[in-house]
Structure 1
Amino acid sequence: MQEKEQYLPQILFLKEGERNSPFSCQRNQVALKIMNLSSEHCNISDWLRLEATVKASVYMVTFPFVTFITIIIITIVSQNSKLRKEVRYILLCHHLMCISSYCGLGVVFQGMRALLANSPVVLCWVVFGVQLSFGEGILFTLALMAVNTYLAICWPLTSVSFVESVKYKILAGTWIIIVFKNVCLFIIEGTKSTSVAVLRSEPLCPVTLNSIPSRAIAMVFLLLLLSIILISYFLIYQEGRRAGHFNRSNIKARKTVLIHLLQISLHVIPTLIFIGLGKMCGKFFSALNLVLFGVFAFAQCFNPLIYGLWNRELRSRLYYWMCCQFWCGHTMNDRGPV
């Protein structure tokens, strides 16, 4: 439609002599061909349904995988009193629950769009808003995990008592910020629609938060969390070099930092590009959108493995848990199998 509007003035506002000239007729025919091509290849309804079908299929694969690993890690942590008291494992479990919930709500929301469920607009907004909140919770918990690691390494004597006293307050404050921001944005976007429009049923389940102010706020929010993560890892690296943790003999420490930064970039870069572009119609933008979503889904699948099972203590306890659970038929406590 934008391309049509671009060429319509060139056709309608020509002088009479120019309209009848051979060059003008040829130019009009080219403009009309472009209009027809744009309307043929830019059917937003078909594109959105195809995108929703692909995303729903990917979420149906990622959701069971992530949920299975999340349940295993939470079970291991909950059965050990030492692990339950450590803040990093509390944040890890919280992070994994955010990923699992995000993927599960992705199946619901994209399934509603792919199946043309004809759901009320307000229901679509609620499902999308909750999924968006869990998606922001993924990055927020990554930032908290990075800050907690920095405090544990650079301030080992004072960080334990401080973090233990404020850990649940910080988690509660995090969710208050996320929910408050999204509710305010939805209220601002919702004021542009009437009550009849909000309550009517739509087959493609439209969403809001695609305006320029909403995308700008989302990018600022994302860049703020990314800055916290990068600053924390930079300070961790500086302290590690000073203390000798990142020397040539300690390859695992350097590899851990690099893997974490790569994993975070797979979360952040596709999201920044997607927010910056917004919803644009066309084959190129639809293909780019699906590629970015594939990269983001790949990062979600491997987050439980990298931040959970990359941990040596969790990995060793997982081996004991699997042996006792599946082969011996026992359960685990703090001292081992019972």
Structure 2
Amino acid sequence: MSDANQSQSNTSSLQQYQGILERALFSTLNTLPCCVFLFINGSMMFTLRSKDLFCQTSRYVLLFNLLVTDTLQMALSQLLYIIAACRIFLTYPVCGTLTLLTSLTTVISPLTLVLMALERYAAVCFPLRHASIISIRNTALAILMVWAFSSLDIFTQVILLSFDDLPTLQMKDFCSYAAMLVGYTSEIYNTVFTCSLFVSAGVAVISAYIGVIVAARSASADKALARKARNTLLLHLVQLGLSLSSTIYIPLLKALSRILTRIVFVRLQSVLYVCIFIFPRCLSSLIYGIRDQSIRPVLVYHLCCHLKLPVVPVRQV
């Protein structure tokens, strides 16, 4: 009898060890890409503040705002993931503060993409008035309005939160945005607002794209500028779609949890977290850092930690 108990105890200890080992492995595999992407985004933001050209150009100012929100969202999401991996249960007020900050950045990103699309539209369709329409002052005012509108959404969510029906403020599940949707009203508001936000942003970007195509057909248009603006707007549309993918993360997990076993669901959740949350937040740095000829050399210089790479002479054959 004692041998059976000892065997059962050893099996339980082995399963617990394997569970801890697997959590540590998945946490490492998720944290390493996040750290790399945070370094890239940080280098990109430092690059955009290192020269007056970037600080005095509206599209670079908008890009800096986009990078700030994406980096904050990436860092907060990774923090929530580490808290969940460590099996730490927060209180509702602490979890609410973290998730609402994440929600704030989720709203700012698509609205900033709309501003960037409108800036490219003005550059092609109104080239003579572009400098006066998209000035640094107007850009700063537009960014301020985006942050104010997003903060208003957060304030509304706080009002709709109700903890009166909860027996205690201590959470019994891991901290997540879905866990903070306490009550039917909060869920309905979140669904309606998210759908309205991304539909409106999508319509604005597509309209700007169509306007650029129409303007490019005119004889007075700058064909090269119109082509670059059209490609940039397509990238904005892709970025908007990737931002939208983060909003379907929670419904997708709920659907998968009903058809998958617990262990398979946890493993798949870690993979989806990297693909849906982490990678899209670094896409802006990769796109603009590679495509923009003004940013590329400065970004590479900062990514290489200010090292000057030796130039290897090419022999003439």
TM-score in same-fold range (> 0.5): yes
- Contact conserved, 2:212 with 2:230, CA < 8 A, in 1? no
Q: 2:192 aligns with which of 191, 210, 216?
A: 216
- Which residue matches 1:47? none
Following superposition, the deviation at residue 320 of structure 1 comes to 5.7
How far, CA to CA, are the matches of 1:179 and 1:245 in structure 2? 40
- Contact conserved, 2:117 with 2:236, CA < 8 A, in 1? no
Unaligned regions of 5+ residues in structure 2, if any?
1-22, 310-317
- Could you list the per-position Cα deviations for residues 216-254 of structure 1 after superposition, in whole angstroms to 9, with x for gaps in the alignment? 22211221122212212221232234336279xx98666
- Which residue matches 1:245? 223
Following superposition, the deviation at residue 204 of structure 1 comes to 1.7
Amino acid at match of 1:149: R
Q: How does 1:54-203 map to 2 (within 5 A)?
A: 60-164=31-135, 165-188=137-160, 190-191=161-162, 193-194=163-164, 197=167, 199-203=169-173
- Could you list the per-position Cα deviations for residues 93-144 of structure 1 after superposition, in whole angstroms to 9, with x for gaps in the alignment? 1111111111100111122223221211111111011011112222221111
Amino acid at match of 2:159: I
How far, CA to CA, are the matches of 1:121 and 1:323 in structure 2? 42
Answer yes or no: is 1:311 the counterpart of 2:253: no
What is the Cα-based RMSD across aligned positions, in Å?
A: 3.5
Following superposition, the deviation at residue 187 of structure 1 comes to 1.8
Sequence identity, in percent? 21
- Which residue matches 2:282? 301
Q: 2:212 aligns with which of 198, 219, 236?
A: 236
- Contact conserved, 1:102 with 1:134, CA < 8 A, in 2? yes
- Structure with higher Rg: it is 1
- Which residue matches 1:19? none
Quickly say closer, same or farther: Cα 1:99–1:321, change in 2 above 3 A: closer
Quickly say closer, same or farther: Cα 1:227–1:251, change in 2 above 3 A: closer
Quickly say closer, same or farther: Cα 1:162–1:59, change in 2 above 3 A: farther
Unaligned regions of 5+ residues in structure 1, if any?
1-51, 329-338
- Contact conserved, 2:72 with 2:102, CA < 8 A, in 1? yes
Amino acid at match of 1:150: Y
Quickly say closer, same or farther: Cα 1:172–1:251, change in 2 above 3 A: closer
Amino acid at match of 1:101: L
- Contact conserved, 1:237 with 1:246, CA < 8 A, in 2? no
Q: How does 1:28-67 map to 2 (within 5 A)?
A: 60-67=31-38
Amino acid at match of 1:90: V
How far, CA to CA, are the matches of 2:303 and 2:87 in structure 1? 42
How far, CA to CA, are the matches of 2:207 and 2:168 in structure 1? 42
Quickly say closer, same or farther: Cα 1:239–1:110, change in 2 above 3 A: same
- Contact conserved, 1:133 with 1:182, CA < 8 A, in 2? yes
How far, CA to CA, are the matches of 1:120 and 1:158 in structure 2? 53
- Contact conserved, 1:151 with 1:159, CA < 8 A, in 2? yes
TM-score, with structure 1 as normaliser:
0.68
- Could you list the per-position Cα deviations for residues 68-108 of structure 1 after superposition, in whole angstroms to 9, with x for gaps in the alignment? 22232233332221221001111111111111111100111
Amino acid at match of 2:142: I
Amino acid at match of 1:245: K
Amino acid at match of 1:120: T
- Which residue matches 1:5? none
Quickly say closer, same or farther: Cα 1:296–1:71, change in 2 above 3 A: closer
- Contact conserved, 1:133 with 1:179, CA < 8 A, in 2? yes
- Contact conserved, 2:40 with 2:303, CA < 8 A, in 1? no
How far, CA to CA, are the matches of 2:70 and 2:201 in structure 1? 17
Quickly say closer, same or farther: Cα 1:274–1:86, change in 2 above 3 A: same
